[in-house]
Amino acid sequence: MSEWTTDHTEAAAPKKVSLREAFWFWLKLGFISFGGPAGQISTMHQELVERRRWISERRFLHALNYCMLLPGPEAQQLATYIGWLMHRTRGGVIAGVLFVLPSLFVLIALSWMYIAFGEVPWVAGIFYGIKPAVTAIVVQAAHRIGSRTLKNTGLWGIAAASFVAIFAFNVPFPLIVLGAAVIGYLGGRFAPDRFDNANHHAANKSYGPALIDDDTPSPEHARFSWPTLAVIAAVGVTLWVLPMGLLTLLLGWYATLTQMGWFFTKAALLTFGGAYAVLPYVYQGAVGHYGWLTPTQMIDGLALGESTPGPLIMVVAFVGFIGAYVLQVFGPNHAFLAGAVAASLVTWFTFLPSFLFILAGGPLVESTQNAVRFTAPLTGITAAVVGVILNLALFFAYHVFWPAGMAGSVDWACVIIALAAAIALFKYKRGVIPVLMGSGMAGMVVFLVRQSY
Q: What is the pTM of this model?
A: 0.75
Is residue 36 domain-resident? Answer: yes
Q: Are 411 and 401 in contact (CB under 8 A)?
A: yes
Q: What is the 3-state secondary structure (H, E, C) of 19-47?
A: HHHHHHHHHHHHHHCCCHHHHHHHHHHHH
The set of residues, in sequence order, having a beta carbon less than 8 Å from that of 394 and lying 6+ positions away, is 167
| Helix (H/G/I), strand (E/B), else coil: 279 | helix
Is residue 208 domain-resident? Answer: no
Is residue 407 domain-resident? Answer: yes
pLDDT-wise least confident of 53-57, 111-115, 430-434, 445-449: 430-434
Is residue 212 domain-resident? Answer: no
pLDDT-wise least confident of 95-104, 250-259, 314-323, 428-437: 428-437
Q: What integer pLDDT is reported at residue 369 of this predicted model?
A: 62
Is residue 417 domain-resident? Answer: yes
Comparing CA positions, the residue from 284, 272, 218, 249 lying closest to residue 86 is: 218
**Count of domains observed in the chain:** 1
Question: Could you tell me the residue range of the domain that residue 119 belongs to?
Answer: 19-203+225-452
pLDDT tens readout for residues 114-155: 888 866 777 778 878 888 988 888 788 788 778 877 889 999
Is residue 7 domain-resident? Answer: no
Is residue 365 domain-resident? Answer: yes
Is residue 24 domain-resident? Answer: yes
